A and B are shown apart, each in its own frame.
Chain A
Amino acid sequence: MRIPGLGILKGMRQTGRNFWAPKVTRQYPEERPQMPDRWRGRLDLIYDPFGEHKCEVCFQCAQVCPVEAIDMSGFDSQGNRIRYGLPEIYEERKDPNAYRRAGLPAEPMRNVARWDEAIDTAWLGGVIDGFGARPEALIGIFSAVQERYGYLPERALRLISDTMVIHWAQVFGAAGLGGFRLLPTEGHLVTVCRCAACRFAGGDALLSALSDELGIAPGETSNDGAWSLETSDEVAAGAIAPAIRIDTMIYGPLTAVQARHLVAERRKSAAAPARARTASRPS
């Protein structure tokens, strides 16, 4: 027996409930969507095998663009700097490659002294020879370098590329694989596990919560240099998913709230070691 009007009320109840429910809108451009790694939609300038931009700065694309979306700058054959686009927009873009091509100093790296840090070439040569200079051993060589320096210095990568006669783009690309750092880390390191088990159990939420808590994105170091956040494919054996590692201690299973609390506690105790030593305890 259908009572007339009940269906309408049921619908109204649903919309009424949604009136108070949290909204799903992402406020672009304040919140940008998280594009997956395989996303094919981004526009990238490509490199040739020698590590240089393939772009010749010929301005054809900027001139032909119907909506004038392209700005660029470079040097002509006389060595004069030429620009296409509004100076104000150009200034704001602050693309490091654009700066370098324009001959201006690029945005300084976070640990600027390390960009040109000298490395022990003899030792590195020894490592490469120890592996027989085989291209398959690249990861092993990277692991050795990372163990010694804590990250992969660019000089080391250049040397590897020259010695083993592998294209720089391939070396650089392989160095970007998970597990290798291209920038040195200082201070404490929080590693969030991204193995299949941890991700399925909510590792992504954990990562975003910790990223929120520390105020940095994965792969970055905080401004005072005391905390770094990274991800890794293997932190624990998967039995305690989702897991994180702070320096050398592994914690798990954690919810996002627990992880935030843990990291916050560690930050407090690290920031005020003398006073907090008796009071703090790992949770």
Chain B
Amino acid sequence: MDLLFGILRFLLATTLLLLMTIPTAFVVIQMELKVIAQMQLRYGPNRVGPWGMFQSTIHGFKFLAKEDHIPDQADRATFTLAPWMVYMAAAMSMLVMPFAPGAIAADFNIGIVYFFAVIGLSVVGLLIAGWASYNKYSLLGGLRSAAQMVSYEIPLTLSVVGVVVLGGTLNFRELIAWQQLHGWMLIWQPVGLGIFYIASLAEINRTPFDMVEADSELVAGPFTEYSGMRFGFFFFAEYVALFIMSGVMTALFFGGWLAPWPFPAQLEGFGGTLYGLLWFFLKSYMFVFVAVWLRATLPRVRVDQLMGMAWKVLLPLAMLNLLVTAGAVLVFNL
């Protein structure tokens, strides 16, 4: 009976999550359109719906209405598989996101490991997108983006290892409980936070690290040959990944669903779930706003500078951070 209940709960949770990804993407895209516009002293979309609220929804429908075109000599199976893989990487990683107490789809004991493992699948998706298009520019773009994402995964995960060492657990929920007792992780791991933020921006190809999609450079990178909903999947996956990374950052460093004041940091029962949801989304969208703010302000980093920064700056810094954290844990018996 328990097993059946467990399976039903799991199915419900996954369905809800899948349904949630598209509206999340819509909201993030709408935010990007309006926020960047406001920073550029213009209004952004304000005709479609009140304050232009439905613009990104219409964008979604537009993608559905476009012609679905596969190049003649492209490899059909992998061409179709690529957007699916990238999107699934984003959607699957939402499985362990700690939205609220009692509202985690799958409360794994190795949640953090699962998350970073699954996020890496998008690299494979981009690679096969670039290869399957039968276009040398797409191939170049795909290789570049794969190189970028793989290089930044290492400082990303290393910075999280520091968090894990302090918290003593790989479980998101328990990590948040630790933060409730000891204060938010950002005061314990400020360097880790910095590394994590920069690496996560590079991981999801956001400006200033978005030369994958740089249309002022060599065409559109690995997505050149994709049109219609296939491109829509790449597009939405990027924005969902932005939300996911912001969510994970709040969970790891900013207390997840905890309120900023110690009492009450969280409530009990259903009210507790709602309260936690509120704070989680508030904090996540704040980081999404910061990412969009960065996009409005900064130019792109060049490819070699990007890679140089990953290997020569972030990686040593992350290792140093880990060393110091581990040493402190040993010495002070934390």
Stretch in A15-23, A87-95, A255-263, A273-281 touching the partner:
A15-23
- Contact residues of B with A, CB < 8 Å? 35, 38-43, 293-294, 296-298
Nearest-CB residue, chain B, relative to A11 = B297
CB neighbours (8 Å) of A16 from chain B are 39, 293
Does any Cβ of B come within 8 Å of A8's Cβ? yes
The reply to whether the CB of A34 lies closer than 8 angstroms to some CB of chain B is no
Interchain CB contact under 8 A, A12 and B294? yes
Determine whether A24 belongs to the interface, using a CB cutoff of 8 Å to chain B.
yes
Contacting pair B42 A24 (CB below 8 A): yes
Pick the contact of B41 from A8, A11, A24 — CB < 8 Å? A24
CA gap between A11 and B207 in the complex, in Å: 14
**Does A25 sit within 8 A of B, measured CB to CB?**
yes
Give the interface residue-count category, chain A.
Answer: 10 to 19
Q: How far is the CA of A23 from the CA of B35 in the complex (A)?
A: 12
26 contacts between A and B (CB under 8 A): A8-B297, A8-B298, A11-B297, A11-B298, A12-B293, A12-B294, A12-B297, A14-B297, A15-B293, A15-B296, A15-B297, A16-B39, A16-B293, A18-B38, A18-B39, A18-B40, A19-B38, A19-B39, A23-B41, A23-B42, A24-B41, A24-B42, A25-B41, A25-B42, A25-B43, A27-B43
Residues 1-42 (chain A) with a chain B CB within 8 angstroms: 8, 11-12, 14-16, 18-19, 21, 23-25, 27
**Once the chains are docked, how many angstroms separate the CA of A27 from the CA of B293?**
25
Which residues of A are found within 8 Å of B293, using beta-carbon distances? Answer: 12, 15-16
10 A-B pairs with the lowest CB-CB distances in the bound complex, closest first: A15-B39, A11-B297, A15-B297, A25-B42, A19-B38, A19-B39, A12-B297, A24-B41, A25-B43, A15-B296
Known: A12-B293, A12-B294, A24-B42. 16 other contacts (CB 8 A): A11-B298, A14-B297, A15-B293, A15-B296, A16-B39, A16-B293, A18-B38, A18-B39, A19-B35, A19-B39, A23-B38, A23-B41, A23-B43, A24-B41, A25-B42, A27-B43
Q: List chain B residues, Cβ under 8 A from A23.
A: 38, 41-43
How far apart sit A165 and B251, CA to CA, in the bound complex (Å)?
89
A199–B42 alpha-carbon span in the complex (Å): 28
Q: Is the interface of A mostly helix, strand, loop or mixed?
A: helix
Task: Kindly list chain B residues whose C-beta atoms are within 8 Å of the C-beta of A21.
Answer: 41
In chain B, what residue has the closest Cβ to A17? B39
A contact residues around B42 at 8 Å (CB):
23-25
Q: A14 vs B39: C-alpha distance in the bound complex, in angstroms?
A: 9
Give the chain A neighbours of B43 by CB distance below 8 A.
Answer: 23, 25, 27
**Which residues of B are found within 8 Å of A12, using beta-carbon distances?**
293-294, 297
Which A residues are within 8 Å of any B CB, using their own CB? 8, 11-12, 14-16, 18-19, 21, 23-25, 27
Cβ-closest chain A residue relative to B296: A15
- Indicate the member of A15, A21, A25 with the most B CB atoms within 10 Å: A15
Q: How far is the CA of A27 from the CA of B51 in the complex (A)?
A: 13
Determine how close the nearest CB of chain B comes to the CB of A145; give it in whole angstroms.
Answer: 49
B168 to chain A, nearest CB (A): 32
A165 to chain B, nearest CB (A): 56
Chain A residues within an 8 Å CB radius of B294: 12
Distance A11 CA – B298 CA, assembled complex (angstroms): 8
Which residues of A are found within 8 Å of B38, using beta-carbon distances?
Answer: 18-19, 23
CB-nearest residue of chain B relative to A9? B297
Bound form: Cα–Cα A18–B38 in Å? 7
| Minimum CB–CB distance for B289 against chain A, Å | 10
Closest to B36 in A: A15
Output the least CB separation between A2 and chain B (Å). 16
**Smallest Cβ-Cβ distance to B294: which chain A residue:** A12
Measured between alpha carbons, how far is A28 from B256 in the docked complex, in Å?
44
State A241–B289 Cα separation when bound (angstroms): 47
> Which residue of chain B has its CB nearest to the CB of A24?
B41
Q: Contact between A18 and B41 (Cβ–Cβ < 8 Å)?
A: yes
B11 to chain A, nearest CB (A): 42
Residue of B nearest to A20 (CB): B38
Task: Tell me the complex Cα distance, A21–B39, Å.
Answer: 8
- Among residues of A, the one whose C-beta sits closest to the C-beta of B47 is A27
Residues of B within 8 A of A8 (CB): 297-298
Bound together, the chains give a CA A27 to CA B44 distance in angstroms of 11
Contacts of A15 in B (CB 8 A): 39, 293, 296-297
- Once bound together, how far apart are the Cα atoms of A12 and B298, in whole Å? 8
Determine the chain A residues whose CB is within 8 A of the CB of B35 once the complex forms: 19
Assembled-state Cα–Cα distance A128/B293 (Å): 72
Closest to B295 in A: A15
A8 to B197, CA, bound (A): 15
B297 contact set on A, CB distance < 8 A: 8, 11-12, 14-15
Tell me the smallest distance from the CB of B233 to a CB of chain A, in Å.
30
Interface-central residue, A12, A14, A27, by most chain B CB under 10 Å? A12
Q: How far is the CA of A86 from the CA of B297 in the complex (A)?
A: 49
Distance from A37 Cβ to chain B, minimum over Cβ atoms (Å): 28
A11, A18, A19 interface centre (most CB from chain B within 10 Å): A19
Q: Which of A14, A16, A18 has the most CB of B within 10 A?
A: A18
B76 CB to closest chain A CB (Å) equals 41
CA distance A19 to B41 in the complex (A): 7
